[in-house]
Amino acid sequence: MFKKTIILVTFWVLVLHIYAQSQTINNKFIKLSNRKDENPWNDGQTIQVTELQIDSLRLRLVGHEPLNGDCRGISISGFQAILCNGGGVYSVDISDPTHPQKRDVIGIDTWTNAADVHAIGNYAYVSECWWYEGKGRLRVIDISNPMNLKELGRSDRLGDYARDIYVSGDWAYLALDDAGLYILSISDPAKPGTIIGKYDCPDAIWGVYVKDNYAYVAGDDNLWIYDITNAPIATLIGQCNEIQHGWGVYVSDNYAYVADQEYGLRIINVSDPANPYLVSTFDTPGEARHVQVVNNFAYIADGFYGLRIIDVSNPNTPTEIGYYLAPAGYFLDLQVAGDYIYVSASGSNGLYVFQYDESINKIIYNSKAIIPSEFSLLQNYPNPFNTGTRINFELSISSRVKITVFNLMGQEVRTLIDQDNSTGYFEVVWDGKDNSGRRLSSGVYLYRMEARDFVQTKRMVFQ
């Protein structure tokens, strides 16, 4: 009996150890040999990338705040996470992401479920489903006081179940299932909902994302692209029929990333919006519900299979670099902000917060196939930015390089790199934090490169 007890205890200790190990991601990329990439800093020439260094990636669960119901949507505004579900719209204080705390909730009508939310400044724009009649609705919530959320206005009931919502300028873009894409005026938050445009899609739609002059709409069988240069007038100009059940869509650079439910991640080249085409797929083990891409990583809320992280630095060959299985519930939506990943979940599990133990704040490309002709510091991209920005520089000869970030008072706030470097093309990423790891306030910052006798300074805008 004693031996059996020892064996059972040993067995469960091993099981718990294996589980704990599986929940920690610690991947280090040191070298990629014989790979060719398009070098964005060399006029489109193809060069041989001989080394790619990325800081160690370690992911762990650091915070959790249970909330009632299935939290289908999440949006970050300042130090608030706004989540929505069948119980209402919640404000969660994330000023300390390791201890998120619910501050207030504003309820919704009977037979209604909040499907998605987009928070900007003092307002949260919520898409709602009225299940009893199969209709949708837009509601605007004042979130300026996290302790006292207030409804400002709501639209009339709209054509079908409301799914994703995206707000840009004076317009709210709603994916309304079989009713298509609706564009509503929100110029007066207290009186939202004037239907400015209504565009039928051949199939049901769920996801919508707006970037520059285009609206990207994902649904059954297709990704549709609308030209909204003259918004609110939208003109369908392109579509890709390589989608099965597109639930969420995100656009970064020249690619649209579609969370295609049980079909995983679809990556579509949209450099020519009139002729989009499928580049690659990655079959996640669960149901991909939403995706966001930051610094060449695609973060996917993958249902019961939790959070998946895909390296999409080469969109032709997406590679999973880690995952965190859902501790409980079904992961529905997410948003990345700084070093934290905020995930909404089903079954009253509410909000989960993940963090990198070691922030990915340096990515260095080093090419020895083409030697730069001079020292150079390039303009950061994107600019303005809010989660991270890339700073590229070139070295014609080996040199010690220092790149420093200053505020407008000339005070140093962050040293990004101070080391000896060989000849080549390089890149560092700044995450908007100071040398102590504190997130800085928005505003204009300067970054300066010093290498031998070369000194150059440029401006960037942190939002």
Phi, psi at 20, each rounded to 5°? -60, -40
Q: Does residue 25 sit within a domain?
A: no
Cα angle for residues 22, 24, 29 (degrees, 5° grid): 110
DSSP letters spanning 81-107 = EEEEETTEEEEEE-SSTTS-EEEEEE-
Q: Does residue 392 sit within a domain?
A: yes
Q: Are residues 372 and 343 in the same domain?
A: no
Q: Are residues 208 and 160 in the same domain?
A: yes
Phi, psi at 3, each rounded to 5°? -65, -40
Q: Are residues 374 and 421 in the same domain?
A: yes
Tokens of 456: 């150059």
Q: Are residues 419 and 333 in the same domain?
A: no
**Sequence-distant (≥ 6) Cβ neighbours of residue 218 within 8 angstroms:** 205, 206, 207, 208, 224, 243, 246, 247, 248, 249, 258, 259, 260
Q: Are residues 343 and 402 in the same domain?
A: no
Q: Are residues 169 and 309 in the same domain?
A: yes
Q: Are residues 396 and 271 in the same domain?
A: no
Measured CA to CA, the distance from residue 369 to residue 388 in angstroms comes to: 28
Give the 3-state secondary structure of 331-384.
EEEEEEECCEEEEEECCCCEEEEEEECCCCCCEEEEECCCCCCCCEECCCECCC
Compute how many other C-beta atoms are within 10 angstroms of the C-beta atom of residue 208. Answer: 27
Q: Does residue 4 sit within a domain?
A: no
For 78, the 3-state DSSP assignment is coil
Domain count for the chain, please give it: 2
Q: Does residue 207 sit within a domain?
A: yes
Q: Are residues 387 and 449 in the same domain?
A: yes
What pLDDT score was predicted for residue 58?
Answer: 56
Alpha-carbon separation of residue 72 from 82, 98, 164, 242 (angstroms):
11, 22, 10, 25
Cis peptide before 202 (omega within 30 of 0): no
What pLDDT score was predicted for residue 261?
Answer: 93
Domain extent at residue 149: 60-356
What pLDDT score was predicted for residue 36?
Answer: 29
Last residue of a domain, one of 333, 356, 379: 356
Q: Are residues 101 and 165 in the same domain?
A: yes
- Record the pTM: 0.67
Alpha-carbon separation of residue 424 from 151, 270, 404, 415, 448 (angstroms):
55, 30, 20, 21, 19
The upper half-sphere exposure of residue 365, i.e. CA atoms within 13 Å in the direction of its Cβ, equals 24
Q: Does residue 109 sit within a domain?
A: yes
Domain with 447 in it: what CATH number?
Answer: 2.60.40.1930
256: β partners: 251, 268
Q: Does residue 124 sit within a domain?
A: yes
Q: Which residues of the chain have pLDDT under 50?
A: 1-57, 357-369
Last residue of a domain, one of 356, 387, 411: 356
Q: Does residue 122 sit within a domain?
A: yes
DSSP letters spanning 375-411 = -EEPPPBSSSBSS-EEEEEEESS-EEEEEEEE-TTS-
Domain with 297 in it: what CATH number?
Answer: 2.130.10.10
The beta strand positions in 39-149, using DSSP E, are: 46-65, 73-77, 80-85, 88-93, 101-106, 112-120, 123-130, 135-142
Q: Are residues 371 and 352 in the same domain?
A: no
Q: Does residue 159 sit within a domain?
A: yes
Q: Of 247, 319, 307, 316, whose CA–CA distance to 283 is shortest?
A: 319
Last residue of a domain, one of 324, 356, 388: 356
Q: Are residues 49 and 67 in the same domain?
A: no
Q: Are residues 241 and 176 in the same domain?
A: yes
